[in-house]
Structure 1
Amino acid sequence: MSTYNSHFQSKLPNVPTSIFAIMSGLATEHNALNLSQGFPNFESDKKLIELVNKAMLSGNNQYAPMPGIFDLRKAIAEKMELLYDVCYNPDSEITVTAGATQAIFTVIAATVSKDDEVIIFKPAYDCYEPTIELFGGKTISVQLNPEDFKIDWEAIKCLITDKTKMIIINTPHNPSGRILSKKDMLKLEDLLRNTNIMLLSDEVYEHIIFDGEKHQSAALFPALAERTFIIASFGKTFHNTGWKMGYCIAPKELMAEFRKVHQFNVFSVNHPTQVALAEYLKTPSNYLVLGSFYQQKRDLFLNLIKDSRFEFLPSKGTYFQLLNFKNITKESDYAFAIRLTKEQKIAGIPISVFNNENYDTKVLRFCFAKTEETLERAAEILNKI
């Protein structure tokens, strides 16, 4: 007879199944268009796929170096210099990761200790808070105004204490599609000056910005860059989220701590894909065209639904669009999302799951990283609601 008591105390007792898993599962079960989870339904560039295949056939199938192959880290450094005129040392300041989420997890694991406070902004990507909690930290979550999602930096100043270890920002912002301006970043830089507070800057949609706006990377602001972990994603950039490839950039001292955890978390990531990406990055147009590419999709989607009963402000970045349904039903966003998936055969994400105390603003998030045919089918459904 077993004496093992399986009723141990959970380290994350209040963490439910991810809403992305729930909605994608429902979409599959009910044969609905899946505009919930953030992935394209079109293929990555065949040239990139051929480069991966070539790397495999060339024998790059064993462990890569722990921080990533040097050629890829060098290519990332060259991209940062091209885009932002900043220099990061590929030897000591860049690490290739198994996607952006692993990079975010590793940053928090390496820096946040028991009772440390981390400020985040809600609606927030759902991996931040559980990871902070997992390592004994305390999340200080700031609910953004659902009308414009702007940050009141003076209010943030009042939240900073001697326990504040880190602030997490996300620009372009998932799920709102808003972007932080140069003015925002300068205010944040001034706020953190003369403190020991670190910054985690989630910039996975850095290349997907619309209407002539420019991405304001933390790397552009010296007093921010010296304390910042920048997180990026090849999966988001090159339409291959299933490859789980990303990277982290940080000053040498911070990166040394990051790698201490990274080496025992995943050690190293997919070798042939790294070889392929190093070659693919040599052609900057492979990522410089993404803003116009996705803006065409955003504009098509919004033009198709302009006469629907949904209200919206055009997304300024990412490949997500928020739609307000307050003129359609008084249901909760969660209930409405479930009903749309089951009855109307289209799946979106309820925003309340990313808010403080499930604050419901009657808004759903839809992903427009889809083929024109899919967007037309989606619009046809939405226009009938």
Structure 2
Amino acid sequence: MNHRISSRVRNIAPSATMSVDAKTKALLKEGKPVVNMSVGEPDFNTPLPASFAGIQAITEGNTRYTAAAGTLELRRAIASKLMVENGLQFSPEQIVVSSGAKHSLFNIFLSICDDGDEVILPAPYWVSYPEQIRLAGAVPVIVSCDEASGYKLTPEQLEAAITPKTKAVLLNSPNNPTGAVYSESELRALGAVLARHDVYVVTDEIYERLVYNTRHFSISALVPELQPRTIVVNGFSKAFAMTGWRLGYIAAPLDVAKAIASLQSHGTGSPSTISQAAGVVALQSFDPSMVEEFHRRRDVLVRELQSMPGIQCLMPEGAFYVFPNISGVFGKKLGGKVVDSAATFCELLLEHDLVAAVPGEAFGAPNNIRLSYATSMANIETAVERIRSFLGRLA
């Protein structure tokens, strides 16, 4: 036997966010007071009405398989939500509910990509995008977006990246890891380019409700001619603090939705019946105070980071991450070790000052680190003190 593990799996890069989180939890088990700024998980409880709906599903025996695409009740509720909140018209048959938005994305790439197809992926990007694209046999075409553009893809970059092999373009707004939010005019400009090319538009809108002093827009609501080839991805983990319920969905052209439902029927089958019952109620249970609290935390964290020597930090407009550029301290040392990368910076920060952050290499941005403010204000204040102390000891 030449290889016990398939080449497609051997070549996967492990999730950096999960890796840092695992190291952090190991240190916490040892009794170390680590401040975990690495993981994208809201520190709020699931809305009680949604939790009670899940409990009711259990006690009433609503625990059987559902259709592979999800219950009709939930798909109708999602279709209504998309129309009312996003200006998007989808029938329940065009919606597929999956075990988390990550699962939804994986289904999409497996369903639309053939070997050698290209998927345009703006960087910085979420860590799982390129790996999922590669697992589908496609090629992620990375387009680097820097601070000058607010970490956003420009129409010129998009036009230059499209080739005859392009199958899809992936947009994520609000963005993980940068918190960037595409404005109405920016999306219209990208839409004008995409209208000239026959490619799919995959738009990951999982953070749509978490925006500050701005609005979220769906690109196909602004450029309707794109809707026949736009696939919208969303879920319940972020806005409803339902990470462990594992519930996400796609809304897509009918042929794509049917293909994804068929694929899912042979993979996981339907998502949890209990989670779906909770999801129906969750859509009516959003708590805007979550956004207010994240807004407050963001302002404190960014203000403190911007005051630190060697650190540059843009103000994110959405999600719950900051993405500071720490290249200003590259070349400095601590304990005989040179800070020569974001990965080394995060390693030393965790080792010496017990703050867990994710290095930017995982997001296609080697000069940056990601810090999550989905944690308490007390933790943020402690983390800020420790980061400042850490920077002060670099020489």
TM-score (norm 2): 0.88
Residue correspondence of structure 1 range 271-282 to structure 2 within 5 A: 271-282=273-284
Q: Contact (CA 8 Å) 1:304, 1:376: kept in 2 or not?
A: no
Q: Specify which of 195, 209, 232 is matched with residue 197 of structure 2.
A: 195
**Residue 380 of structure 2 corresponds to residue 375 of structure 1:** yes
**Residue 125 of structure 2 corresponds to residue 124 of structure 1:** yes
**Residue 81 of structure 2 corresponds to residue 84 of structure 1:** no
CA distance in 2, matches of 1:134, 1:82: 35
CA distance in 2, matches of 1:322, 1:196: 33
Q: Contact (CA 8 Å) 1:42, 1:371: kept in 2 or not?
A: no
Aligned to 1:103: 104
1:232 aligned counterpart, secondary structure:
strand
Aligned to 2:362: 353
Residue correspondence of structure 1 range 255-294 to structure 2 within 5 A: 255-283=257-285, 286=286, 290-294=290-294
Q: Contact (CA 8 Å) 1:26, 1:341: kept in 2 or not?
A: no
CA 1:7/1:56 → structure 2, altered by over 3 Å: closer, same or farther? closer
Residue identity in the other structure for 1:301: L
Residue identity in the other structure for 2:300: L
Q: Which runs of 5+ in 2 are unaligned?
A: 29-33, 332-338, 391-395
Q: Contact (CA 8 Å) 1:210, 1:316: kept in 2 or not?
A: yes
Residue identity in the other structure for 2:182: L
Residue identity in the other structure for 1:311: Q
Residue identity in the other structure for 1:271: T
Aligned to 2:183: 181
Which region of structure 1 is more displaced relative to structure 2, 74-83 or 189-198?
A: 189-198
Q: Contact (CA 8 Å) 2:15, 2:128: kept in 1 or not?
A: no
Aligned to 1:10: 7
Residue identity in the other structure for 1:82: V
C-alpha displacement of 1:191: 1.4
CA 1:341/1:50 → structure 2, altered by over 3 Å: closer, same or farther? same
**Residue 19 of structure 2 corresponds to residue 22 of structure 1:** yes
CA 1:25/1:8 → structure 2, altered by over 3 Å: closer, same or farther? closer
Q: Which runs of 5+ in 1 are unaligned?
A: none
CA distance in 2, matches of 1:40, 1:315: 17
Q: Contact (CA 8 Å) 2:154, 2:190: kept in 1 or not?
A: no
C-alpha displacement of 1:194: 4.5
C-alpha displacement of 1:279: 2.2
CA 1:306/1:157 → structure 2, altered by over 3 Å: closer, same or farther? closer
Residue identity in the other structure for 1:302: V
* Two-structure CA RMSD over aligned residues (Å): 2.0
**Residue 290 of structure 2 corresponds to residue 252 of structure 1:** no
Aligned to 2:235: 233
**Residue 319 of structure 2 corresponds to residue 318 of structure 1:** yes
Aligned to 2:301: 301
TM-score (norm 1): 0.91
Q: Contact (CA 8 Å) 1:26, 1:342: kept in 2 or not?
A: no
2:324 aligned counterpart, secondary structure:
strand
Residue identity in the other structure for 1:291: V
The superposition leaves residues 200-231 of structure 1 with CA deviations (integer Å, 9 ceiling, x where unpaired) of 111110111111x1111134131222211110
Q: Contact (CA 8 Å) 2:97, 2:250: kept in 1 or not?
A: yes
The superposition leaves residues 290-339 of structure 1 with CA deviations (integer Å, 9 ceiling, x where unpaired) of 53342122123334555443431211111101123344453111011011
Q: Contact (CA 8 Å) 2:116, 2:138: kept in 1 or not?
A: yes
Give the number of equivalent residue pairs. Answer: 374
Which region of structure 1 is more displaced relative to structure 2, 168-177 or 59-68?
A: 59-68
CA 1:289/1:258 → structure 2, altered by over 3 Å: closer, same or farther? farther
CA distance in 1, matches of 2:282, 2:46: 12
CA distance in 1, matches of 2:301, 2:15: 26
Q: Contact (CA 8 Å) 2:305, 2:313: kept in 1 or not?
A: no
Residue identity in the other structure for 2:281: E
CA distance in 2, matches of 1:19, 1:219: 32
C-alpha displacement of 1:141: 1.1
CA 1:222/1:287 → structure 2, altered by over 3 Å: closer, same or farther? farther
Residue identity in the other structure for 2:11: N
Aligned to 1:50: 52
Q: Contact (CA 8 Å) 2:41, 2:241: kept in 1 or not?
A: yes
The superposition leaves residues 359-379 of structure 1 with CA deviations (integer Å, 9 ceiling, x where unpaired) of 521x21111011222222222
CA distance in 1, matches of 2:215, 2:344: 37
Residue identity in the other structure for 2:203: S
Identity %: 24
